Amino acid sequence: MTSVRHPQAAHSRSQARLSFSERSRSRSSTKERSRSVTSRLSRSHSRAPLRGSISSSPSSVKRDWKVSRDVRTRLPPILRRFSGYRDPQLQPPFPPISFPPFSWLRHVSLKHETWLLSFIGSLVSIGLIEIVMSASFPNHDTVLIVASFGASAVLLFSTIESPLAQPRHLLGGQILSAILGVGLNRLFRMADNYRLGDTIGHNELGHVVWINGALAMSLSLLLMQVTGTVHPPGGATALIAAVQPAAVNMSWRLVYAVVISSFLMLVWALFINNVGRRRYPAYWFSGEVALVRDREKGAFVKESLDAAEMEAEEGRSRAMELGLLVEELDERAVESENEEGNRDDRAQADGGLIRGRKSNK
């Protein structure tokens, strides 16, 4: 009597015999195969609408998974590049723009290119904001620049692949925090014991300014988390709007300054971060989509990878199995792709055999 071995158990035992490095190479090769399968599926369904449910059956994942066409593919090539779109078949680092002086960047190491473009990007963006602010708000007691944009420049020109540096987080985090900080400050200014000075005096905690600053920053953080626009400099913007005298005197004009500064920095980042071998933004509204098991529905659901990872870090049970499930689905997709390829090969071989028999007859 022959024994039946479960393929998953056999695979686990074979993996246990391998060394750590061999298991790592095996996992990396599996992920590479899954990426190739995913890219082929994406290209084959690139014009399909984003509809269809995600089934909990692994065999139907490939059939139900449809990827919508990226709207940036409809743009002219030059706008397509500066909006952050690259051909899915290309792998980073991407080729720079093909005309000088940007084409010369291919002769520079990627590390030094990053240093150079980060320096130029931050220098020009801060200078551009200061020039526009001084020309747009003369003689109105307006700050030259909101200091939190120095931190935004670090994110947008140095860590361009970070979710915190993407356009949605920059615009949403800065603008929402400015509105909240100014609005809350105007409420606190109605208090009788409100007094704001340039320096700290004796018994300063007797005034409500310190409560205003702490509450503005913490509420801005909560607002950014709820709206999915977490941008660390946004917390500084809300704090500046609450406790910095020059910003407090600007009142709602501070919101205008933040809006103008945010769009100026974003437009420049879209240019300077796309002339070389890097790509910005990584996404506009949401990042990569993952499949996560919803235990209440008993099925896989689509969810932003950033949101799923955040849920896993916060200990919410639905996303705790994210890494295992995504890897498991990738492996099964690869196995399904291989099985289909084998069936096609057998069908072609059978067809050739039949044609050969007919010709012999």
Structure token digits, residue 40: 């082929």
* d(C-alpha 59, C-alpha 64), whole Å: 10
What is the predicted pLDDT for the residue at 217? 96
R_g of the chain computed on alpha carbons: 27
- CB-CB contact of 337 with 315 (8 Å): no
Structure token digits, residue 59: 């065999």
Q: What is the pTM of this model?
A: 0.65
pLDDT for residue 170 is more than 80: yes
Return all residues near 232 (Cβ < 8 A) that are at least 6 apart.
151, 155, 164, 173
Helix, coil or strand: residue 291? strand
What is the predicted pLDDT for the residue at 172? 96
pLDDT in tens, 8-44: 445 545 554 444 445 445 545 554 555 554 555 444 4
What is the predicted pLDDT for the residue at 338? 60
* d(C-alpha 150, C-alpha 172), whole Å: 17
Residue 289's closest CA among 299, 280, 301, 279? Answer: 301
* d(C-alpha 15, C-alpha 46), whole Å: 36
* d(C-alpha 20, C-alpha 156), whole Å: 37
What is the predicted pLDDT for the residue at 33? 52
Helix, coil or strand: residue 231? coil
| Summary count for the chain: helices (H), strands (E) | 13, 2
- Whether residue 96 has a cis bond before it, omega within 30° of 0: no
Segment holding 235, helix H or strand E: helix 232-243
What is the predicted pLDDT for the residue at 233? 97
pLDDT in tens, 70-111: 788 888 989 999 998 888 888 888 888 888 888 888 889 989
* CA angle centred on 119, ends 117 and 120, rounded to 5°: 65
* d(C-alpha 312, C-alpha 318), whole Å: 8
How large is the greatest C-alpha to C-alpha distance in the chain, in angstroms?
109
Per-residue pLDDT band for 209 (boundaries 50, 70, 90) equals: confident
Structure token digits, residue 131: 């020039």
Structure token digits, residue 2: 């022959």
- Could you give the percent of the chain with pLDDT greater than 90? 35
